[in-house]
């Protein structure tokens, strides 16, 4: 577990002192992904960089599993923490495999062992090693470079990974893809991750908790749904934006609204995965087109039908959630029109 206690960082420039980070308290539990989010200058990156001591706090302290990071050897500390930055920060004179195996190399692993580990990780991040291992970073697209950056951070199997806007410099479609993959990888490796971004959608997609910062302070720290349902300050609402009702839909899954299997209804038509959000399900329904019957089936993890949702109920669920978030009028209608096949 990472704990930040009364952490502050004051910079002095041109005779003026600026509190970049101001009395931040934070606990990141084992295997959790916490997103630090806020506008530029909110102190999120500085906060993160104090964890692996790339910045030195002015006051307060950081402990990892109870041990103050200042008492640890700085080089060993950093080798035990994965680090990903925007555009990957890849070493251009190293091949992809050598980049991935950088920390193992610093730790003195044998060549063969490093090579195997690099191949394993490239496969994990979706870059077939036989094609990518011996290329140079310049020969990769931005998205591929980011994947290498993620693989590199995981190479020595560190319990903690710090990610500083890792997907900030890639196009929206690639970004979405990388975010999904990070979720999948996190499901497999269960690291303790501190993730810095200014992209609110990314924060909601990835975060177990979201820490919203402004001017060096934490404005709200909670699970994504809390920021939507119980914003701690007008600033939170303003930052999340006016479409928070839609976001609420994005964080309700089909399995939450499906009813137990009604025996009378025969299993026909497409079965939608229960993990889809209401928004995704709506899109899916539109894509699939009008189906027979008054509703559709929802599947469990392995795709077996486990519940049923009528179109009427689906529309009601959406309307209620939008109403609960105070979203009225056009946008609600738009969503319903989108979601229900005619």
Partner 1 sequence: MRGDPLEFITYISEHEEQFLRLLGQHLQVTLLSVAIGIAIALPLAVVVVRVDRLAKPMTTLANVGQTIPSLAILGLMLPILGIGFLPTLFALTIRAILPIFLNAYVGIRGVDRAVVDAARGMGTSNSQLLLLVELPLASPVIFAGIQTATVQNIGIATLAAYIGGGGLGDLILQGLAMLDTSVLLAGAVPVALLAMVTEIILGRLRRVVVPRGLQIDIK
Give the residues lining the site for partner 1 (CB under 8 A).
52, 54, 75-81, 83, 85-95, 102-103, 106, 136-139, 149, 152, 162
Q: How far is the CB of 154 from partner 1 (least distance, A)?
A: 12
Shortest distance in whole angstroms from residue 194 CB to partner 1: 13
Least separation in angstroms between residue 91's CB and partner 1 is 6
Nearest approach in angstroms of CB 187 to partner 1 is 25
Closer to partner 1 by CB, 80 or 255: give it.
Answer: 80
- Alpha-carbon Rg of the chain, whole angstroms? 23
Given a contact cutoff of 8 angstroms between Cβ atoms, the answer to whether 37 and 203 are in contact is: yes
The nearer residue to partner 1, 83 or 204, going by C-beta atoms, is: 83
Residue in 4, 31, 19 with CA at minimum distance from that of residue 159: 31
Enumerate residues 6+ apart whose C-beta is below 8 A from 109.
101, 117
Nearest distance from C-beta of residue 22 to partner 1, angstroms: 24
Comparing CB distances to partner 1, the nearer of 52 and 220 is 52
> Could you tell me the two tokens for 33?
């992904």
Least CB distance to partner 1 at residue 16 (A): 21
> For residues 323 and 326, what is the distance between their CA atoms, to the nearest angstrom?
5
What is the per-residue burial (b if ≥16 Cβ within 10 Å, else e) of 313-330? Answer: ebbebbbebbeebebeee
Whether 206 contacts 174, CB under 8 Å: no
Q: Judged by CB, which is closer to partner 1: 53, or 283?
A: 53
- Provide the 8-state DSSP code for 26: E
Smallest CA-to-CA distance from 144 within 165, 126, 168, 156 is with: 126
Question: What is the total residue count of the chain?
Answer: 342
| Shorter beta-carbon distance to partner 1: residue 81 or 133 | 81
């Amino acid at each position: 577990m990472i704990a930040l206690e009364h952490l502050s960082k004051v910079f002095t420039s041109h005779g003026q002192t600026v509190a970049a980070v101001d009395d931040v308290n934070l606990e990141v539990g084992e295997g959790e992904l916490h997103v630090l989010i806020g506008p530029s200058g909110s102190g999120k990156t500085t906060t993160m960089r104090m964890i692996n001591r790339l910045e030195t706090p002015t006051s307060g302290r950081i402990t990892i599993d109870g041990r103050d990071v200042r008492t640890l050897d700085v080089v060993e500390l950093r080798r035990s923490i994965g680090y990903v930055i925007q555009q990957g920060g890849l070493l251009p004179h190293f091949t992809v495999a050598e980049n991935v195996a950088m920390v193992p190399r610093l730790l003195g692993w044998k060549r063969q062992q490093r090579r195997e580990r690099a191949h394993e990780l490239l496969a994990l991040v979706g870059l077939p090693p036989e094609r990518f291992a011996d290329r140079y970073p310049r020969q990769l697209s931005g998205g591929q470079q980011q994947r290498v950056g993620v693989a590199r951070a995981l190479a020595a199997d560190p319990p903690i990974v710090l990610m500083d806007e890792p997907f900030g410099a890639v196009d929206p479609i690639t970004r979405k893809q990388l975010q999904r993959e990070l979720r999948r990888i996190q499901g497999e490796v269960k690291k303790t991750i501190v993730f810095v971004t200014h992209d609110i959608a990314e924060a909601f997609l990835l975060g177990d908790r979201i820490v919203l910062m402004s001017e060096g302070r934490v404005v709200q720290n909670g699970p994504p749904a809390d920021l939507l349902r119980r914003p701690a300050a007008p600033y939170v609402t303003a930052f999340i934006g006016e479409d928070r009702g839609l976001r609420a839909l994005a964080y309700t899954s089909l399995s939450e609204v499906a009813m137990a299997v009604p025996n009378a209804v025969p299993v026909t038509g497409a079965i939608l995965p229960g993990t889809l959000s209401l928004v995704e399900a709506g899109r899916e329904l539109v894509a699939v087109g009008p189906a027979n019957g008054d509703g559709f089936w929802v599947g469990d993890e392995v795709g077996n039908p486990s519940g049923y949702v009528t179109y009427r109920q689906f529309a009601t669920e959406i309307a209620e959630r939008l109403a609960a978030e105070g979203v009225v009028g056009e946008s609600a209608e738009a969503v319903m029109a989108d979601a229900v096949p005619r």
